Every structure is written in C-alpha cells, then in structure tokens.
Structure 1
Amino acid sequence: MIKFFRKIRQNLLSEGKTGKYLKYAIGEIILVMFGILLALQVNNWNQQKQITKKEHRLLLELKNDLIGTQNELKGDIFTLNELIETSDSIIQYLDTIHYEEYDKSIFGMKMGWALTNVKLYPRIIAYENLKSLGPEIISNDSIRFHITDIFDRRLHRISLWENSAVESEANLYNSLVPHFKSIKTVEEDWGYFLVPDKFNELSQKLYINRLGLLQNDRKLLHYLYKTLLDQITKVLVLIENEKI
C-alpha cells in the first residue's frame, strides 16, 4: 500500500503536476491521521469493553456477597429480638419480686439464653477485589457510594458495638459467678442451667444493672443491624437495575 501511494506521488512529480501533488499529499496526510484516530478509537472501545466486563463481574460478586450477608443479618436480627425479649422479661421479673421469691424454673430456662450474644460475619471477598481494582471501576455513583459506606463505615461501627456487647456480657457473667450455681436439667438433657444460689438484694440489683447495660448494647446493635439490612436491600435493587 505504501509503495502504491509512493508511485502515485512520483508520477505526479515527474509529470510536473505540483499542484495536484500537494493536494494529494495533504489528502494522504488526512487519510493517515484518520486511520490513526480510528485505530485509537477501536483500541479505546476494546479497553472500555474490558473494563465494563470487569465491572459487571465485580457487581455480580458483590451482589452474591450482599445476599449472603443479608441472610446472615436476618438470622442475627431474629436472635437479637429473642435475646432482648428474654432479658427484658428477666429484668421485669427481678424488679417485681423479692430476692427470696425467685422461681428456679424461670431462671433455669432464661439465664443461659440471656448470656448469649450474636456476631455478624459479613462476606467481604468481593469488596477486597474492589479495593484492588479501585472503586472508580463502578460507574454508578449511587452503588459506589453505598458499597463503600457499607464496608468502610457501617461494618466497622457494628464491629465496635459487637465488641462492646461481648464486654458487657463478660461483666454480667463475672458478676453472676459468686451468686449462682449450675444445676443439671431434669426434663430433658439440655445440659446445665444457672440459678441463683447465694442471692441477696445487693446481687439482685447488681444483676439488673449489668443486664440493663448489656440490653443497651443489644438494642443499639439491633438498630445498626436493621439499618444495614435496609441499605443492603437498597443496593441490591440498584445492582439489579444495572441488568448485568
């Protein structure tokens, strides 16, 4: 092709057609520039296509991880509801009876459950991939904002309050040890229950206060879980609308 164009230029010069030669040369330059621009455009298109493929693959991974975390959250919220209701009923019970009038069966059924806690284990593999690729790979501003907010802020805050609840639970357990004993279940082999042994008015008030502090942590954690669940649901709708 180059030899062909060169031969045309040589013929024009040999024939003394300078004007036509200049016009041809300019046309050839324009043609070459057009070819370069076209090649660049094709290259940019191919690169953008690869980026879009990576984005869609990442969004699909994020979607799967968020669905897994969503299911975990639903289970943890249900468990927290049960823990809060059980502990509230124990506090109400202790508030309305004298310390010598407690019912061992009530404590036997509820005490161990009140000392249980929950911990969220979110799926974060896709987000780790996002950090390595860079958040700008997600072209949808709303999705990018919510994803970074969930993984960088909300989950961190939840982890802090989970640790606070664990600490409150440990303080509650340590305050119970001197005043409670373990008894084996009778009707079914459920292991051992904690029931008051050397219980008095002071230990009763201490237990109520410590359980109340644990309840505060649980109720805030419940709120954080619920708001995270709502945000995840919103993000899943946004990802679904991308039609990946």
Structure 2
Amino acid sequence: MMFKKPKLGKYFFEFTSMFLAVISAFALNNWNDNRRDALAEEKVLLEINNGLKLDLVDIKANITGHKVAKDAIIYFKKILNNVPVSQDSLMEHHFYLTGDNNSVMNVSGYESLKSKGLEIIKNDSIRSQIITLYENNYVILKNYEENSIMNQSFVNYYFPIENILANSFSYDENGNLKNIQLPLKLTLKEKNLLHSYLFRMNNSRNNKLYEYRLVEKKVIKLQKQIEKELVKRW
C-alpha cells in the first residue's frame, strides 16, 4: 500500500497567506487607531492654542487694568500728602482706584482634552505645561481676582474711602466728579486709614501683576511649543 506525501507546499502557502492576512489586518487596525488618536490630538491642540490666543488678550487687558489702578493709587497718595495733582484726571483715577477685574480664561480646549484623556498629548513637555497652566496658574489668577476676599478692592475699600473723602468731592449737575478740595481736611485717624487702604491695595495689585506676568510668559511659551508641534503634522 502506497502513502501519498502530504502537500507541504500547499499548506505552507495557505498558512503563510492566513498569517500575512492577520498581520496586515492587525497592522491596518493599529494604523487606524494611531491615526485617529493623532487627529484627535491635533484637534485638541488647535482648540487649546486658539483659546490661549484669547487668554492672552484677557491677560494683557487685566495687566493694563492693574497698572492703571496703581497709577490711581499714586495719584491719591499725592493728594493725601498735599502734592499738587491735575484735577482734570481726578474722575478717571477715582474710577480706576478700586476697580476690580475678572479672570475669564478659555478652558473649553482643556475640558476636551480631559474628556479624551490627558495621555492623548504625546509630547510630555507640552502635556505637563498644559496641566500646570490650567490646573494651577489659571486657578490662582481666578482666586486672586474673584475668590480672595482680601484682594477685592471695591468690596473692601470703595465705601471706606468714599466716606473719608466725600466732603472733599465736588460734583457737577450731571453727577460727575468735578474736583477735590485741597488740601484735604482729615483727622489723623482718617489720614492713617487712607494710607493703610492705599498700601494694601497697592500690595494686592503688585501680587496680581506678578501672577499675570508669570502666566503671560507661560502662555506665550506654551503657544510656541504647540504651534511648533502642529507644524510637524502639516
């Protein structure tokens, strides 16, 4: 009785074909997953970068606001110390003296990132900077501007200052502040209170300006890195 030799060539070909088909399908699936993640990462980076551009506008505006407020503090310090000032700018300085700002940061891009998973950002440095900016720096700014009672200029100082200076102010028929009678006629207590208010407001403005300038640098640095990363994809 004769036995037929197994057709090893045929089986080898079929096995190889199946193996290659499985490997190809796996590779294609893996490529699709990587491509999907890369597109999602790119979309999130674009959204965050666009938000950072808007944040910079807000940051610069608030820096200007606090600098103008510091000018107002200097103006009223001069008045308190009987140093001549221009009455023409009284109303403007009075308006900005106790004015507060809001920290309106665009967090939609970061929220999108968190919903997709922070690990979607492959660049470790960019991912770390994003987390620090949104979870730390932006929170500090918001607390300074809105949540920290001791840093609220209007709530803490507007009415106390008005009560001290009210008798020295003159208003026109439309209710606009026209001038202030100089030299001020204040008691020692009133003068010391004004010095204290101005000192604390100035410290608060300095602290806020320090944080804003720090965040401004971080935002600009992060923007450059994100844009550099996006250029690689295009």
Q: TM-score, normalised by structure 1?
A: 0.80
The whole-number CA distance in structure 2 between the counterparts of 1:36 and 1:212 is 74
2:129 equivalent in structure 1: 146
Residue 175 of structure 1 corresponds to 160
Deviations 1:188-244 (A, max 9, x none): x68346958873221111011012111111111001101111111101110111215
Shift of 1:85: 2.1
2:53 counterpart of 1:81: no
Q: Name whichever of 109-118 and 160-169 sits farther off.
A: 160-169
Q: In structure 2, which of residues 91, 96, 116 is the aligned counterpart of residue 113 of structure 1?
A: 96
Task: Give the Cα separation in 2 of the matches to 1:199 and 1:93.
Answer: 12
Are 2:151 and 2:204, in contact at CA under 8 Å, matched by a contact in 1? Answer: no
Instruction: For 2:121, give the aligned amino acid.
Output: I
Change (3 A) 1:142 1:126: same
CA distance in 2, matches of 1:89, 1:200: 20
Q: Helix, strand or coil for the counterpart of 1:55?
A: helix
Quick check: 1:172–1:207 contact (8 Å CA) kept in 2? no
Among 139, 144, 160, which residue is 1:161 paired with?
144
| Count of residue pairs the alignment pairs up | 223
Q: Which amino acid aligns with 2:23?
A: L
Q: Which residue of 1 aligns with 2:55?
A: 69
Supply the AA of the counterpart residue of 2:223: L
The 8 Å contact of residues 168 and 210 in structure 1, kept in 2 or not, is answered as: no
CA distance in 2, matches of 1:46, 1:230: 37
Instruction: Give the C-alpha shift of residue 117 in structure 1.
Output: 1.8
Which structure 2 residue ranges, 5 or more long, are not aligned?
none
How many Å apart are 1:178 and its aligned residue?
Answer: 3.0
Match of 1:17 in 2: 5
Amino acid at match of 1:65: G
User: Aligned in 2, Cα 1:190/1:31: closer, same or farther, shift over 3 Å?
Assistant: farther
Give every structure 1 segment of 4 or more consecutive aligned residues whose post-TM-superposition deviation is greater than 6 Å.
101-104
Per the alignment, residue 201 of structure 1 pairs with 188
1:20-35 map, 5 Å? 21-35=7-21
Residue 59 of structure 1 and its aligned partner are, at CA, apart by 0.9
C-alpha distance in 1 between matches for 2:100 and 2:177: 18
AA partner of residue 104 (structure 2):
Y
Superposition CA RMSD, Å? 2.8
Distance 1:131 1:59 in 2: 12
Distance 1:167 1:212, change over 3 A: same
> Which residue does 2:210 correspond to in 1?
223
Give the deviation of 1:30 after TM superposition.
Answer: 3.2
Counterpart for residue 3 of structure 1: none
Aligned partner of 1:8 in structure 2 is none
Match of 1:11 in 2: none
The answer for the alignment partner of 1:233 in structure 2 is: 220
Q: Distance in 2 between matches of 1:48 and 1:119?
A: 40
| Corresponding residue number in structure 2 for 1:48 | 34
Higher Rg: 1
* d(CA) in 2 for partners of 1:86, 1:180: 15
Q: Give identity over the alignment, percent.
A: 22
- Which residue number corresponds to residue 59 of structure 1? 45
